[in-house]
Amino acid sequence: MKVTVVGGGIAGLTCALSLHAAGFEPRVYEAARTIEAVGVGINLLPHAVRELSELGLDRELDSVALPPARLSYRDRAGEVVWEEPLGRAAGYRWPQYSVHRGRLQMVLLSAVRDRLGPESVRTGLLFQRFEQSAGGVRAHFLDRSSGLPLVDDADVLVGADGIDSVVRSRLYPGESPPKGNGVHMWRGIAPHPHVLDGRSIVVAGGTPGAKFVAYPIEDPATAVGDALVNWVLEVRHGPSAPPPEGPGRRVTAAEARAGLSSWKLPWIDLTALAECSSAIFEYPMLDRDPLPRWSFGRVTLLGDAAHPMYPMGMNGGSQSIVDTRVLAWCLARDDDPVDALRRYDRMRRPAVNAIVLANRALGPEEIISRAEEHGGALPAGWAERIATRYKRLGRATVAQVNTASSWTVRAIAADRE
């Protein structure tokens, strides 16, 4: 079976690896002229790390990522509100990883080219539209270098082209633009001495728009000099006052210093963080309304093309990775790709749509919002109940991840439905 994958990001590349491992022939088409190691930090939760490990990427991940051991929620003064262990420290059989998004993408790209061949990922090709028939799907692209059209025929088309997915726009031509909540994120990476123990993810503040996040994306024990720290400062512009330069504008160090000046966190030098960041960019916090359907005949969506979500609970990228594994499993299980995509839709969409809505309600970060309202740490058990409820929603508790059957095709099990 031939599968056209639109989008060469983390979701698209993992999709290609998952499909190849299941015995299919995927081809990845990316609009950018080159795929480069750019971006900031991303967290992969244990349920996603399990899937990448089953694809044989555990050593490569361990070489570029840091396994954090603790999540620490703190107030604006830097005092502990609630903490929990992460990854193996929490009892998972797989670690959690904090990693530079670009390095992760290069690991995936290298694996795709090694396993599928150097021509398996084609760049500089803008997806235009598709046509379906009883026997297949034809995708139309525009070559950005030559200006010439390109046609690709396959059995299945997968839209993995992000929050502004063109594939999604062809399935839902009347859909409104992504929705914002008025919060914008200033995101940077800087070499910095240990934050707390050097293996903690820190989320400080309260409600969205009044929050600071920091975590290392390099191992302090192996880094040359200070390890890289990913940081995010949330600012609120309001829907009537978006940044004048649009998404991705560059924030100056002076502007960042001013924005960070009201924060008094004794365990991090915020001025140095702003000064040492190679670049700081501003992005609006956006999602889209959950869709009633992802799969239309031989065409389907996954990742941010299917379910863009607010970055609460570090779950967006992880859910995208799980999407790819379930999709490959479904295609291997059914002889008819239309039935397979319908099954994939039924198995993934309701669960992930629920996470999108939960993230609008702050997800596990309800803990620090409630603590701010409460005036300090929450009563015993309250924070843990919030965190556990969110994990159950994503099928990501220790028990759920450790005992679930594998999505690997050779281990197909009916109880994964």
Q: Confirm if 182 and 221 have CB atoms less than 8 A apart.
A: no
Instruction: Report pLDDT for 416.
Output: 45
| Mean pLDDT, rounded, of the chain | 93
How far is it, in rounded angstroms, from Cα 124 to Cα 130?
A: 18
The pTM is what? Answer: 0.94
Taking only Cα atoms into account, the Rg of the chain, rounded to an integer number of angstroms, comes to: 21
Q: Give the residue with greater pLDDT, 206 vs 126.
A: 126
* pLDDT level of residue 160 (50, 70, 90 thresholds): very high
Instruction: Report pLDDT for 410.
Output: 75
In the predicted model, what is the mean pLDDT of residues 306-316? 95
Q: Give Cα 370 to chain centroid, integer Å.
A: 25
Q: Give Cα 291 to chain centroid, integer Å.
A: 18
Beta bridge partners of 201: 71
Beta bridge partners of 127: 141
Instruction: Report pLDDT for 241.
Output: 47
Pairing of strands 121-122, 25-29: parallel
In the predicted model, what is the mean pLDDT of residues 9-26? 97
How far is it, in rounded angstroms, from Cα 188 to Cα 280?
A: 5
How far is it, in rounded angstroms, from Cα 290 to Cα 219?
A: 37
Least confident of 84-88, 244-248, 259-263: 244-248
Instruction: Report pLDDT for 98.
Output: 97
* pLDDT level of residue 37 (50, 70, 90 thresholds): confident
Burial (0-12, 13-18, 19+ Cβ within 10 Å), 381: exposed
pLDDT at residue 44 greater than cutoff 80: yes
2-66+101-176+294-365 CATH, one of 3.40.50.300, 3.20.20.450, 3.50.50.60, 3.10.129.10: 3.50.50.60
Residue ranges of domains in the chain? 2-66+101-176+294-365, 180-285
* pLDDT level of residue 246 (50, 70, 90 thresholds): low
- Is CATH 1.20.1260.10 correct for 180-285? no
State how far the alpha carbon of 268 is from the alpha carbons of 184, 190, 213, 380, in Å.
Answer: 22, 12, 11, 28
b/e string for 129-151 if b means 16 or more Cβ within 10 A? Answer: ebeeeeebbebebeeeeeeeeee
How far is it, in rounded angstroms, from Cα 279 to Cα 389?
A: 36
* pLDDT level of residue 152 (50, 70, 90 thresholds): very high
Q: Give Cα 107 to chain centroid, integer Å.
A: 15
pLDDT at residue 216 greater than cutoff 50: yes
pLDDT at residue 194 greater than cutoff 70: yes
State both tokens at 88.
Answer: 């193996």
Percent of residues, the chain, with pLDDT higher than 70: 95
Q: Tokens 């192996």: give the residue.
A: 222
State both tokens at 340.
Answer: 């397979």
In the predicted model, what is the mean pLDDT of residues 37-55? 95
How far is it, in rounded angstroms, from Cα 342 to Cα 359?
A: 26
* pLDDT tens per residue, range 353-393: 999 999 999 999 999 999 999 888 888 899 999 999 999 99
Instruction: Report pLDDT for 415.
Output: 45
Instruction: Report pLDDT for 223.
Output: 67
Burial (0-12, 13-18, 19+ Cβ within 10 Å), 224: exposed
Q: Give Cα 300 to chain centroid, integer Å.
A: 18
Most confident residue range from 35-44, 86-95, 262-271: 86-95
How far is it, in rounded angstroms, from Cα 394 to Cα 317?
A: 12
Which backbone phi and psi does 289 adopt, to 5 degrees? -65, 140
Instruction: Report pLDDT for 240.
Output: 44
